[in-house]
Structure 1
């Protein structure tokens, strides 16, 4: 392969990395800024900056589902700071900055995650990590990991009825609906504000009870859910991400999982997958012990997942499969 072709491929990869990180609002320090500086120094032109703007602030998706005003302002400021001194100023760069300098900060913003087959999952999320007494209004690492695992194991969901516990903003479930061909998908949560945001995100991504797969949002309180309610949902596969963060919540979750697994022996047991970011080993260990006490065994699902979405890959994330 010619050197020019290699450079073109590398440039395309860098632009793709910037696009994914920009729309997911990744930490600015994690972006490949060194490539920008090297390109500006070697070419002494703003051609790459112009191409980068087209993949970020000037991308059509940014008009429809823009990241936060603060993030865009910081991103553009970083680009301007790295512009080579002997390059002609790029008008579109300064125009883009002027636009966000005059915009008001909001409590909500959009994050978008690009799928391998094309298209993106776009979510309305809260800017604050904790808002209105819940962490369910943002996307966490375990949800992204579980979505990547699902993309690598699409057969687990194809043609099946899936229930997601604690769906939050909806990233994992929407990814599965868009890419894994389930028969139906039930998103669930119990916090009223989370449910409202979840319904909006499901709609934003063109999913409904009338689409294929049929997708609906269900209010499900783990402390009061009955076996009849769960039987009505009738899930073949049950998933959850980042739901083991509090000892009291873990107690309710284990009781719910026991009900889900209490089908008659003549019926096939649902496949249950729980993905967790292990922030507190004591809390997570307590959850596993409660599972064992309830007669629920687990298997740790090992093996790397394909790198699809940008997130902190140094986080301690574990995916377990439950069975009786």
Structure 2
């Protein structure tokens, strides 16, 4: 008999296109050996490749092909009768053409979903912003646990990338206004598409694109949307105090923006400009999530913060484990006091 939620664990990993080695294959093999009927495999197939979300917003063709091939191997290693549905589904996938774009679907605790269109390559169009990095998942999980930080407040996200963290926060934390920001044109285009894909309506004056009818899995979301959403082009090196003041953020967040010395200097310079808020209004709360890939880069960030008098503290690890990202002990969140 399958352990509790085995098919659902396959589903969450598959819809988010996590690495195949992270799936509970040994548990599946054990179940198939003790109970070699096809019901569990059929359940997994319908919760993954044949799930309505996957049919409408599929992971890459290669990913689906590799997953199904592995599933067929597990089935063939048992004494069960051949399962035509597995082979028919694989034949359909083999006839598809590869695309440079794919979808990932992240299930949220209350049943909602964040659907993202991503680029298959890690670096595309001269930017790393067209995929979702681990710190973005880490920040979103913490935000859901600390939703009072965001509820009914204006949030500015720096380096939003393709939008995962912001869309998740907008769906779960009820901010008053959420300002997505980035600089690279390709990223801004993909970001805008992903926001609309998830059923949100953007402030029309905040984006140069003509508003289009939402095609997302929650196309009706605009009917009950309470959060004001804005996409802003923000160049950290040239942004002025007035531009930042006009945004009027209560909370500022960023994920995986501390990875390059030049970017760190620009980021800290912009945070320093934000300290001018002290004159006439409450200074924003700032939370930066990042993966420490290079200790020297992390120490440079700390040194640049110290140089301009920005204090910081590490946010304690959260207990939420919602997204099946490649959790590493060196993913952390700093709160900055500007």
The TM tier, using the shorter chain, reads over 0.9
Q: Between Structure 1 and Structure 2, how many residues are aligned?
A: 316
**Residue correspondence of structure 1 range 143-292 to structure 2 within 5 A:** 143-209=136-202, 211-292=225-306
Task: Please tell me whether residue 57 in structure 1 is matched to residue 49 in structure 2.
Answer: yes
> What's the counterpart of residue 77 of structure 1?
69
How far residue 42 of structure 1 moved from its aligned partner, in angstroms, is 1.1
Looking at structure 1, the residues matched to 101 and 279 of structure 2 have their Cα atoms a distance apart, in angstroms, of 47
Q: Is the 8 A contact 1:157 1:182 kept in 2?
A: yes
Looking at structure 2, the residues matched to 162 and 143 of structure 1 have their Cα atoms a distance apart, in angstroms, of 15
- What TM-score do the two structures reach when normalised by structure 2? 0.91
Q: Is the 8 A contact 1:163 1:187 kept in 2?
A: yes
Structure 1, unaligned stretches of length 5 or more? 1-6
**Residue correspondence of structure 1 range 113-152 to structure 2 within 5 A:** 113-152=106-145
How far residue 216 of structure 1 moved from its aligned partner, in angstroms, is 1.5
Match of 1:28 among 20, 23, 48: 20
How far residue 92 of structure 1 moved from its aligned partner, in angstroms, is 1.2
- What TM-score do the two structures reach when normalised by structure 1? 0.95
Q: Is the 8 A contact 2:202 2:231 kept in 1?
A: no
Q: Pairwise CA RMSD of aligned residues?
A: 1.2
Looking at structure 2, the residues matched to 47 and 261 of structure 1 have their Cα atoms a distance apart, in angstroms, of 60
Q: Is the 8 A contact 2:130 2:161 kept in 1?
A: yes
Looking at structure 1, the residues matched to 16 and 268 of structure 2 have their Cα atoms a distance apart, in angstroms, of 32
Q: Is the 8 A contact 2:145 2:318 kept in 1?
A: no
Looking at structure 2, the residues matched to 304 and 176 of structure 1 have their Cα atoms a distance apart, in angstroms, of 16
How far residue 184 of structure 1 moved from its aligned partner, in angstroms, is 0.8
Structure 2, unaligned stretches of length 5 or more? 204-224
How far residue 82 of structure 1 moved from its aligned partner, in angstroms, is 0.8
How far residue 315 of structure 1 moved from its aligned partner, in angstroms, is 4.7
> What's the counterpart of residue 94 of structure 2?
101
My pick for the range that moved more, 260-269 or 108-117, is 260-269
